[in-house]
A and B are shown apart, each in its own frame.
Chain A
Amino acid sequence: MFAKNAVLFAQKGFKLKPEYQLKCGLEIHTQLSTMKKLFSHSKNDPFMAISTPNSNISMFDVSMPGTQPIFNYETLLFGLKLAAYLKCKDINFSSKFDRKHYFYQDNPQGYQLTQKFDPLAQNGSLKLISAIDGVFKDKNIRISTIQLEQDTGKSLVRLGESNDQTKGLIEIDLNRNNVPLIELVTEPDFESVDEVKAFLQKYQKIVRFLGICRGDMEQGTLRCDVNVNVNDHCLVELKNLPTTSSITHAIQYEYMRQIDNLENGYKGIKETRNWDGEKTVSIREKNVAVDYRFMPDNELKPLKISQKLVEQVEKSIPFDLDSEVLKLINEPFKLSLLNSNKLLDKDENDGIFILDYYKTMANKYLYSYHQGNSNIQLLNNIFFNDILVNIAKIPNLSFKEFTELFSHESVLDLVNLINTGNFITRPNAELLLNFALSSKLKNPDWVLFVEENGLSKISLQSLTQEQQDEIYRKITESFDPTILSAIYKKPHAEKKKKDEQKFEKGLNVAIKTALELTNNRIDPLDLRKIIINHL
């Protein structure tokens, strides 16, 4: 009875109740994208090898007796990068591995190698900024530990027809076993679901930017457990949260469930609960939890690092994402948050490279390479909505290839031509650009191109009344202006919002028709004037 209500609640606008304070902490597992596994030379690529189970395995990965762990130092560099980025105050110059014992079919050693007693780094922080991360107010989230550890294998229950003898058989794939993970644990600093969401999105951008993880929850390279409590009552650990939305819903459900408990005079118990897609279900109470019998692994030497290495790692991080975003969304670039994120997402289109290209080009435009005045919005528009969109559409055209074809000046020449207002219309500029890109022309001579192909702009002033009438007549051949005309003629007091929307929609269709009729040579704003004058 209660469960249903809570789900309902979670789906319709969820709100925190002021008398019940939500507190959350996160444990994030980040699968590192190193070439090799944590303690063996096997290939680290569990997602790609999903259809070939047990192909990326070595004798150590299957825990053959007598084989020993050989540490992959690349993982240490990845860990240090994250620790440096999250400003960890305590970077351990001699971190160690420990064995965490438990029996499970996809845990072939009978223990997991992790860093319980001497983790790689501690006491970091990540600030959520309202202007960037969409949180209500700026908020500092403290990071308590960053540690390296092994991922486990995967167990799959075989599906099949009911008469199939092998149905229900547990199949074990060890491709993921011994893949390096970073476990990051935050302090319980989250006071709303939005903060959790913002943190996860931000963290995802960071690991991609640092190039240490693919950073997606769908493929399981980022996995998150959430600790939740209400008014400092018993802590509940939520597991099995494969997507951001399951995290959101599970926290919301759990908040409502714990409040319901408290209101019924029940204080709850410390426990671990699974999210089943609808509700949280208890899997075990913490006080009867398995004893992991932690033990230092004295086969593995401490990971000795020097101050110098830490400094080198710090230097290898090109910049801080937040300060870069703030630079991009403010004067003089005035980018939208969305576009500035596009420039900083390393995974898509080799982001950092695009950022460099954009900034050099924009600076040239702003400070020297323009005629009369610079119009940064126009440049942003051309760059993001035309150039980047087209590159993504055109087969076999990478951004790198684009930079070899188009100098900054070549792009700016076109922007300047549009900006003069009387040489080419915006729609024809788009077509021209698209043609140049798909034909892979090198630094096209825009002026020559426009003149040879008769694409130059026709201004409103140069058109006689007869010519304007002729244009309108042609439009009406394929477009019925009756409705437009009727709304237009309505007395102002009778015009409703709905009417205006309908009017704009109709007008846009008319303009589109007109553009086609005039080969895009007349500015859409001028066409608008012509049409309205005739209504």
Chain B
Amino acid sequence: MSNISSLKELHNVLISVNKKYKFFNNVTPLSQLISTVKTDSPIITYALKDNISTKEHPLTCSSKILEGYFPNYDSTVSSLLKHKENWVNLGKLNLDEFGMGSGGVHSANGAVVNPIYDPIKNEVSDEGNFQIEHRVTGGSSSGSAAICSARTPLQKKDAIFDRLAHFALGTDTGGSVRLPAAWCNVLSFKPTYGRISRYGVLPYAHSLDTVGIISSDLKIIKDVYDILDKYDTKDPTSMSESIRKNIKKTDFNEENDVVSVGLIKEFNLTAIPDTTNQILFQFLEGMMNLKGSFELKEVSVKDIGNSLPIYFTLAPAEAASNLARFDGLRYGAKSNLEKSKDNGMFAETRALFGEEVQKRILLGNYNLSSELYDNKYKKAQIMRTEIISQFNDVFKDQHPIYPSNKMQNDDKVDVIISLTGNSKAPLLKEFLESNSHSPLDEFCNDIFTIPMSLAGIPVVSIPIKDSGISIQISGQFGYDDKVLRIAKRVNDLLL
């Protein structure tokens, strides 16, 4: 089949399944898809989380407050991908509103359906089928994980790829790429903070936000990363050319060496379901059986237990600040109830934010209020630097910005391995119930992913076969290539 007719088939599928699965906030029109295909060489399909700006699509962040907003400019990541021949952007993907959530349920466009437990069929599926257990996709990059996981209903001869897309970009602030990827059984990569430009990416918590890559194929992740891993003058937090160069000089290929792998002793395994632990131990056993390849060590990140409270002090505070610009005056929706009055707080327009977003803005402003600032925000910042330095001491490689004072010794490791989530994707019903009982419970899903976000270090998350459980491989700040190489060795082992 020609590229054009394959795209037509795919486009039809996307439009028809989206009503139920809600993967996309906006599917690129067919004419536009076709116009990006210039040659007969193979097509690569991708889509972007709908908090990444593109010239061609509206940007919604799955929020009512951005209704009608057209960015009219390309984020740096979008323009880098556009330049690839025959790479086709299928559209903008659903997410938890402004990236806030871990289930993919907080969206003005509805919750994304996890395609593993409710696979796409050729015929129209029976909505009332009791056999189907509705499970969440994970969030906030819910649509990104789901389309990389969803298998195409098309015949092999008609399909471009066996999934709906080769890859998708998401954003990861505390686990927003890794958790949905784990719950949808696909691979994901959260690079070092500052590696990929955030220009044009809507900030949630700007000191933690990273652009991440999801795919069913690690090779594709690596290829995409190589394209996006560029210094950007438009992003003041972009890693400088000189630091990139210095890391490259010290990141040698360890192919024939034994990779030392750390297990963090402070991760409390007793709170993890037995079934999950069993899967993890089996996997670790498998690694150890490959003689001369991996060695396991226990490492300590003493204060890792503080990660969650640090995160929900800092992230909502930054979010409250970053979302302060939505007043309905220059872009997005403006409430009809808004009247000009002296206090100018734009309360009616800002009521268009969803419940979860409002909750986090309130929490963030509370953490920043002048009486609490020292004891909340400032304290959390100090505790965050302690976690950074404790991670730092674990790795053999030197942190390019904050070199470790601790002497080089045998206890140090190349990478750390840990779980991505503590169970497979929860049932939608249970997830919503738990959320309504205890609003902070949702943060707990990210308990294994948040520490690496605080440290800004690179992580690859790899599913363990079809278990619905994934492991994370993380390395020193800036050593993304090394983490990707070791991830490949681990992934090969699992295949």
Contact = CB atoms under 8 A, between A and B. Distances in A.
Contacts of A67: 199-200, 234
Given A105-B327, A108-B325, A295-B368, A66 B206 contact: no
A109 interface: yes
Pick the most buried of B71, B237, B330, B370: most chain A CB atoms within 10 A of its CB: B330
B345 A103 contact: yes
A110 B327 contact: yes
A269 interface: no
Contacts of A109: 324-325
B329 A298 contact: no
B370 A110 contact: no
A293 interface: yes
A66 B202 CA distance: 5
A6 B321 CA distance: 44
Kindly list the 3 A-B residue pairs having the minimum CB-CB distance in the complex, ordered from nearest.
Answer: A110-B324, A293-B368, A66-B200
B344 A103 contact: yes
Interface of B: 53, 59, 66, 69, 71, 73, 75, 198-203, 206-207, 233-237, 317-318, 320-321, 323-327, 329-331, 340, 344-346, 365, 368-370, 373, 377, 381
Nearest to B209: A299
B62 to A, nearest CB: 14
Contact of A66 (B53, B344, B369): B53
Contacts of A103: 324, 327, 344-346
Contact of B377 (A104, A291, A295): A295
A59 to B, nearest CB: 7
Interface of A: 59, 62-71, 99, 101, 103-105, 108-111, 170, 172, 291-296, 298-301
A111 B324 contact: yes
A291 B331 CA distance: 26
A104 B330 contact: no
17 contacts: A65-B66, A65-B331, A66-B53, A70-B234, A101-B368, A103-B344, A108-B327, A109-B324, A110-B324, A110-B326, A110-B327, A292-B370, A293-B365, A293-B373, A294-B368, A298-B207, A300-B236
A291 B369 CA distance: 7
Contacts of A299: 206-207, 236-237
Contacts of A69: 236
Given A105-B327, A108-B330, A68 B235 contact: yes
B478 to A, nearest CB: 17
B73 A59 contact: yes
Majority SS at the chain B contact face: loop
Contacts of B75: 66
B325 A104 contact: no
Majority SS at the chain A contact face: loop
Pick the most buried of B234, B324, B330, B369: most chain A CB atoms within 10 A of its CB: B324
A104 B370 contact: no
Contacts of A296: 381
B368 A65 contact: no
A353 B462 CA distance: 71
A301 B368 CA distance: 21
A293 B325 contact: no
A103 B73 CA distance: 26
B236 A63 contact: no
Contacts of A63: 325, 330
A70 B233 contact: yes
B321 A111 contact: yes
Given A105-B327, A293-B373, 20 more contacts: A64-B71, A64-B331, A65-B325, A66-B53, A66-B71, A66-B75, A67-B199, A68-B236, A101-B324, A103-B346, A105-B329, A109-B324, A109-B325, A110-B323, A291-B370, A293-B370, A295-B317, A295-B318, A299-B206, A299-B237
Contacts of B365: 293
B329 A172 contact: yes
Nearest to B324: A110
B344 A71 contact: no
Contacts, number: 96
A344 to B, nearest CB: 39
A297 to B, nearest CB: 8
A64 B331 CA distance: 8
A101 B373 contact: no
A99 B377 CA distance: 13
B53 A101 contact: no
Nearest to B201: A66
B369 A293 contact: yes
B59 A71 contact: no
Given A170-B340, A294-B373, A298-B207, A99 B321 contact: yes
A226 B198 CA distance: 42
A300 B237 CA distance: 7
A104 B330 CA distance: 13
Pick the most buried of A65, A69, A101, A295: most chain B CB atoms within 10 A of its CB: A65
B330 A70 contact: no
Nearest to A59: B73
A108 B236 CA distance: 20
Contacts of B71: 64-66
Contacts of A101: 320-321, 324, 368
Pick the most buried of B198, B368, B373, B377: most chain A CB atoms within 10 A of its CB: B368
B358 to A, nearest CB: 15
A83 to B, nearest CB: 23
Contact of B203 (A66, A108, A294, A301): A66
Nearest to A109: B325
Contacts of B369: 291, 293
Nearest to B237: A299
A96 B75 CA distance: 27
A518 B471 CA distance: 108
Contacts of A64: 71, 73, 330-331
Pick the most buried of B198, B202, B325, B368: most chain A CB atoms within 10 A of its CB: B325
Contact of B330 (A62, A291, A298): A62
A110 B200 contact: no
A66 B201 CA distance: 5
Contacts of B200: 66-67
A351 B199 CA distance: 45
A55 to B, nearest CB: 16
Nearest to A117: B378
Contacts of B331: 64-65
A71 B236 contact: yes
Contact of A295 (B53, B201, B233, B321): B321
Nearest to B332: A65
A251 to B, nearest CB: 27
Contacts of B323: 110
B332 to A, nearest CB: 9
Nearest to B53: A66
A72 B356 CA distance: 37
A62 B331 CA distance: 10
A301 B377 CA distance: 19
Contacts of B234: 67-68, 70
B368 A68 contact: no
A67 B73 CA distance: 10
Given A110-B325, A111-B324, A65 B345 contact: no
Contacts of B377: 295
A68 B233 CA distance: 10
A191 to B, nearest CB: 32
B204 to A, nearest CB: 11
Nearest to B206: A299
A104 B377 CA distance: 24
A422 to B, nearest CB: 73
Pick the most buried of A67, A68, A71, A99: most chain B CB atoms within 10 A of its CB: A68
Contacts of B66: 65
Contacts of A300: 236
A71 B233 CA distance: 11
A263 B329 CA distance: 49
B5 to A, nearest CB: 36
A214 to B, nearest CB: 29
Nearest to B343: A103
A294 B323 CA distance: 15
A59 B377 CA distance: 30
